[in-house]
Amino acid sequence: MKRFWLILLSLGLVMAFSASAWAVDVKFSGSFYAAGLYQDRTTFRKDSGTDGPSTAFYYQRLRVKTDFIVSPGLSLVTRFDALERSWGAARATANLGSATAATDPLSSGTTAENENIAFDLAYIQYVSPIGMFLVGIQDDGAWGTVFADSTSPLGRITYIGQFGPFTALGYIGKFKEQSYSAKNPLQTAADRDIDQYVIAGIYSWKDGSVGLLGKWIRSALPRAAAYGQFEQSVYFLVPYIKAKIGPVFVQAELVYGFGDYQKYDTGAGGTDVKLENLAGWVDATVDLGIVYFGASVAYVAGDNKDTLDKKEGGFITGGADWNPCLILFNYDRYYWVGKTPGWDGTANNNNGDNPYLASNDGGMTNALFLQGRVGVRPIAPLDIMASLSWATVDKKPTGILNANYGAEVDITATYKITNNLSYMLGVGYLFVGDYFRGMSNDQQIRDNYLVINKLTLTF
């Protein structure tokens, strides 16, 4: 019997060592932050009876990206966010900010899921002899510079090819699926999807790059009678440039949108509306070592209410990733605190006003923005920066008397404790502009300020 078990054990060891190996290499990366925020008032109104309280709370987020390396050139990539919540606060039942449902516009999960754990990305990455293919739910919405970017998950099939200094990129993406399925049995209109098609090219050199992206978004969702029986078919051209010339780093991006914002079905009635939307950004920074300084000019067109057959603003925004100030046009503040409203529907942040596209979120809209900044690094780990920003409305909404959003002074100090751990302290003061008086100059407004500190770990 002893000999029998010895032979059986030997056979088991042979089988174990000769079996094919499973995915054996796993790489983790990610970040964690914990922050505390105080905002003086949650509205810009004064003497209204609903001026809004001050708010102060701590919040955090853990983000973990995992690469399962199956073989050289073949990986499964996933990412989740966990415990994205305010310490001790009641759990969310709906998304903060603009969404009317419990969805989070920059996540695959709801706000409530992100307060526990929400997987955002899961895709295959395959490097083939003819280029790299990505298939699954991936990051979408980022291109060129940070301006106009709103990085959010999207189901895509992506191809990336590298040909010397040239990079070719193309993908198709699905914003909304309306076909019948066992999981969605109430949807029976297969042609009422929202799809995206993108091609792009980049030329890179040692100290810079230039690129051009072309995008087509077709939204057949509003063809349903409940939406008005029209179709959207819009196109975007997005050139950018980044270049370093000595101590000067310059970057610029232009976003031009055109096409059919509303194209009514035959017999449906209604006035067809064309999209003619423009946005742009130019930014320059001069780095002299201990001291640096820079300036930015940004523009996002507003909609002219007198041209009913054209949509000049509201579709393109400055994006959720671009946060030029601590108060004005800051999506992080907006996500955690919500809008800071003035009178008669005026608010910071304003939102894009295209309800048929799920990725349409906050960020700067309808504005001309100017900023100057200066920074100093007295010691290697410490970076102190001060900025002065000013913004005005491009097109005044109907009934709103004034165009000035206001001027903001921000001071931030970031100390690098270790290579992976940093601490930031920031103070922002907004001299609130008359735009927030709304439809009457007799309506009183008050200035606003914010204090934030944030500890960030990357790994």
- Residue 112: the pLDDT is 87
- pLDDT of 52 higher than 90: no
In a domain, 347, yes or no: yes
- pLDDT of 309 higher than 80: yes
- Residue 15: the pLDDT is 39
In a domain, 12, yes or no: no
In a domain, 3, yes or no: no
- Residue 110: the pLDDT is 86
- Residue 192: the pLDDT is 84
- Residue 213: the pLDDT is 98
- Residue 81 is part of a domain; what is its CATH number? 2.40.160.100
Total of domains in the chain: 1
Q: For residue range 4-31, what is the model confidence (pLDDT) as tens digits? A: 344 443 444 333 333 344 546 999 999 9
Confidence of residue 187 (pLDDT cuts 50, 70, 90): low
- pLDDT of 188 higher than 70: no
In a domain, 103, yes or no: yes
- Residue 419: the pLDDT is 96
- Of 148-152, 157-161, 413-417, minimum mean pLDDT range: 148-152
Residue 327: domain span: 24-458
In a domain, 5, yes or no: no
Residue 411 has phi, psi (to 5 degrees) of -130, 125
Q: For residue range 276-298, what is the model confidence (pLDDT) as tens digits? A: 999 999 999 999 999 999 999 99
Mean pLDDT of 220-239: 89
Q: For residue range 108-121, what is the model confidence (pLDDT) as tens digits? A: 998 889 999 999 99
- Residue 181: the pLDDT is 80
- Residue 223: the pLDDT is 85
Confidence of residue 225 (pLDDT cuts 50, 70, 90): confident
- pLDDT of 128 higher than 90: yes
Mean pLDDT of 153-170: 97
In a domain, 217, yes or no: yes
- pLDDT of 406 higher than 60: yes
- The rounded mean pLDDT for the chain is 90
Q: For residue range 1-11, what is the model confidence (pLDDT) as tens digits? A: 444 344 443 44
- Residue 200: the pLDDT is 98
- Residue 102: the pLDDT is 56
Q: For residue range 421-432, what is the model confidence (pLDDT) as tens digits? A: 999 999 999 999
- Residue 94: the pLDDT is 56
- pLDDT of 261 higher than 90: yes
Express as a percent the part of the chain with pLDDT over 90: 76
Whole-angstrom Cα Rg for the chain: 25
Confidence of residue 172 (pLDDT cuts 50, 70, 90): very high
- Residue 269: the pLDDT is 81
- Residue 21: the pLDDT is 43
Higher model confidence: residue 189 or residue 456?
A: 456
In a domain, 292, yes or no: yes
- pLDDT of 85 higher than 60: yes
- Residue 344: the pLDDT is 95
In a domain, 118, yes or no: yes
Q: For residue range 352-384, what is the model confidence (pLDDT) as tens digits? A: 667 666 555 668 999 999 999 999 999 999 999
